[in-house]
Structure 1
Amino acid sequence: MATYTEHEVTYAGGKKIHYLAAGPVNGPLVLFIHGWPATAITWRHQLDAFAAVGFRAVAPDMPGYGQSTSRRLLDDYCQEALVEGMMALLADTGRKAAVWVGHDWGSGVTSSVAIQHPETVKALVSICVPYSTLELGWDQFLPLVNRDIYPEDEYEFGQWDYMRRYEEEFEEAVAWCNKDIAGYCNALMQKPGARPDRTLPAHTAKVRREGPLGGREKPPSVDMTGPPMLPAEVWDSFIKDMERTGFWTGCAYYMHHQRNAEYNGKKDRRLKQPVLFVHATWDLVCDTKTSRLIEPMREACSDLTEVTLDASHWVPFEKPRELNAALFRFIVNSLPSEWPGFWDSGYTTRKSDL
């Protein structure tokens, strides 16, 4: 396990981002940006692996999470405000650019960084949520729903129905999540047992009609679902942080689709940098295997690599070795100058006909 140092950067009149760093200070910089719900420590597998080979690996508690500022102000969680925080984070590392790795809403944020500040992105990695989708609001990603599975007359918002509920009943939706924070997080983060039938609607498509998790009055307790997917010490730290902030601030990310579209929609979204997308076979919500959700990313990225992992949505801690291997291979193949020691290792190759 790597040795972590804790840091804090203040920006925008007093807001703070807390972050973890591991690996040599002068190593190539990789920023790991988590989604909903998670914290910096949930990237532990990646921080350890990248630090061990010489990268400077950094993971923040995103605004609204962990030890970062978690004000109950909706304006703090639009993409414009989040990108401002990411620029403060990058500046605090002393670098002008990095490899950005995002998962879930973290992919939405890193995509916004790439749109707004492409000069800060040496390479972009999006896990589960493709570039040029979530950060552009409903009008961009809703038309990509697979209507064979989600007929529009029955499932207007497809598998994204739960997002619409936040817009219609935000306080009620958050209050339900907060009834048992540990239980809800554990229910979310379960490895799929029997492989789900991908021809059937995801449970998230019925949230406004039935309520979350099939209409339960509150989330199931931890002992009702199964062992946490995260290592025990990571789980305990993560849940402690989530119980401190609750779900209000993390769920506020869902409240800005129109505003995010206005912020990002007028920019040139074509990317020339190396880009990696990680598909998760059994992610039925961020479905890139049977829907057209990946298409805008393919159209926008001129140097795109794709890899598919046999995992659910929680790829970073369900399949950490496979994900780390994919990330390492991508950097070596597509951006070798960012591999530690590339310039000074004296690496040579000799071939002969012997």
Structure 2
Amino acid sequence: MATITEHDVSYGDDKKIHYLASGPAENGPLIICLHGWPATAITWKSQLDAFATLGFRCVAPDMPGYGQSTARHEVSDYSQQSLVTGMMALLSHTGRKSAVWVGHDWGAGVASSVATQHPEVVKALVTLCVPYRTIELGWKGFLPLVNREIYPAEEYEYGQWDYMKNYEENFEKAVAWFDSDIAGLLKAVMQPSKPAGSRISPFANIRKDGGFFGGAPKPPSADMIPQAPIIPADVFSRMVKEMEGTGFWGGSAYYMNHESNGVYNGRKEGKLSMPVMFIHATRDLVCDTKTSRLAEPMREHCSNLTEVTIDVGHWVQLEKPQEVNAALTRFILEELPGEWPGFWESGYTKRKTIL
């Protein structure tokens, strides 16, 4: 198991990003992993361990609003423009000029924004569940791609993204509901996925139901959920403690910047020439990339695209870490062989003898 160290980088007007790092600091090819909602850096522990063991330098920040990073109650702190500024400060702090960027959920949106705005710092882009050229463009990036056979517009105006509209209409109420039992909510959210029954996501009825979990007055308590979460106990315990420290305000404010995000990323054509990999999760009913058109803009904007499908729910790198790590390893070997640790100095020689 790799040694994980902790670091801080200051940037902007008294803001800070806290990050975890593993692997050789001087010559390990750099991978940066960005988490989404809700999580903290420690949820990338499987990747921090695996890729450090292979000789990479693997870095995972507490994204702004989470963990030990700055978590101010300022909506603009969580716009894509502000988040990209933070990621560029993080990259600079590593002493590197570029990296392989990996993102899940909102972390995928931020990694995609980095690729859009600063392609020169992205050796390769890897996104899980959320394709490039969607969520980072605001409502216009994903709402038109809803599968209207599953979500007729007259009944589901916002499709499976209804919960995002709920944030805009009931932000403080939603945050207060999350904060009323953080441990219980996180345990409920991070349960093993099951094959989809109905293709209708429960997130499509949030406003109709009056909130999450069918409008329940608060999340279920942890002791009401007999099954363990999908992540190791020590990782889950640290994440809960960190989420209880910040609450959900900052993490939820990512959903409050759709208009400014559309303007910021909409100014760029967004065509990518570097290698891109996207990991589909077949059981993800919100980020539904298998029966909707959500992946189409990515396919139109990426000239070197690899797609991988894993039969799992939204928390793909947590529930199936071996499969995700294997896909990322193969992708780097095939698309970025020069980034493999020791590629240029190990004297690796292959000989064939005819017998």
Normalising by structure 1, report the TM-score: 0.98
Q: For residue 60 of structure 2, what is the aligned residue in structure 1?
A: 59
Q: Which amino acid aligns with 2:5?
A: T
Deviations 1:208-262 (A, max 9, x none): 0002111211111112232111111111100000000001110000000010000
2:146 is the counterpart of 1:145: yes
In 1: Cα distance, 2:250 partner to 2:38 partner: 10
Q: For residue 200 of structure 1, what is the aligned residue in structure 2?
A: 199
In 1: Cα distance, 2:150 partner to 2:349 partner: 53
In 1: Cα distance, 2:3 partner to 2:196 partner: 39
* 1:310 Cα deviation after fit: 1.3
Matches within 5 A, 1:213-232: 213-225=213-225, 226-232=227-233
In 1: Cα distance, 2:341 partner to 2:224 partner: 45
C-alpha contact 2:192 2:229 (8 A) present in aligned 1: no
Matches within 5 A, 1:311-322: 311-322=312-323
For 1:285, what is the secondary structure of its paired residue?
A: coil
Q: For residue 43 of structure 2, what is the aligned residue in structure 1?
A: 42
Q: Which amino acid aligns with 1:122?
A: K
Q: For residue 251 of structure 1, what is the aligned residue in structure 2?
A: 252
2:136 is the counterpart of 1:135: yes
In 1: Cα distance, 2:134 partner to 2:199 partner: 23
Where in structure 1 are there 5+ consecutive unaligned residues? none
Deviations 1:59-90 (A, max 9, x none): 00000000000111111000000000000000
Q: For residue 262 of structure 2, what is the aligned residue in structure 1?
A: 261
Q: For residue 75 of structure 2, what is the aligned residue in structure 1?
A: 74
In 1: Cα distance, 2:56 partner to 2:250 partner: 31
Deviations 1:145-188 (A, max 9, x none): 11111111000000000000000110011111111111111111
Q: Which amino acid aligns with 1:287?
A: D
In 2: Cα distance, 1:222 partner to 1:320 partner: 24
2:101 is the counterpart of 1:109: no
Q: Which amino acid aligns with 1:203?
A: P
Q: Which amino acid aligns with 1:184?
A: L
For 1:290, what is the secondary structure of its paired residue?
A: coil
Q: Which amino acid aligns with 2:169?
A: E
* 1:352 Cα deviation after fit: 5.7
In 2: Cα distance, 1:306 partner to 1:353 partner: 38
In 1: Cα distance, 2:128 partner to 2:8 partner: 26
Where in structure 2 are there 5+ consecutive unaligned residues? none
Q: For residue 13 of structure 2, what is the aligned residue in structure 1?
A: 13
C-alpha contact 2:199 2:285 (8 A) present in aligned 1: no
In 2: Cα distance, 1:43 partner to 1:37 partner: 13
Q: Percent identity?
A: 65
In 2: Cα distance, 1:153 partner to 1:350 partner: 66
2:44 is the counterpart of 1:23: no
In 1: Cα distance, 2:279 partner to 2:92 partner: 27
Deviations 1:120-164 (A, max 9, x none): 000000000000000001112101111111111000000000000
* 1:350 Cα deviation after fit: 3.3
Matches within 5 A, 1:270-281: 270-281=271-282
For 2:237, what is the secondary structure of its paired residue?
A: helix
Deviations 1:281-320 (A, max 9, x none): 1111000011110000000000000000111100111000
* 1:196 Cα deviation after fit: 1.7
C-alpha contact 2:281 2:316 (8 A) present in aligned 1: yes
* 1:351 Cα deviation after fit: 4.1
For 2:69, what is the secondary structure of its paired residue?
A: coil
Q: For residue 159 of structure 1, what is the aligned residue in structure 2?
A: 160
Give the stretch that moved more between structures: 78-87 or 175-184.
175-184
Q: Which amino acid aligns with 2:222?
A: V
Deviations 1:306-344 (A, max 9, x none): 000111100111000110000000000001111101111
For 1:169, what is the secondary structure of its paired residue?
A: helix
What is the total number of aligned residue pairs between the two structures? Answer: 352
* 1:31 Cα deviation after fit: 0.2
Give the stretch that moved more between structures: 225-234 or 280-289.
225-234
Deviations 1:103-134 (A, max 9, x none): 00000000000000000000000000000000
* 1:353 Cα deviation after fit: 5.6
Q: Which amino acid aligns with 2:238?
A: S
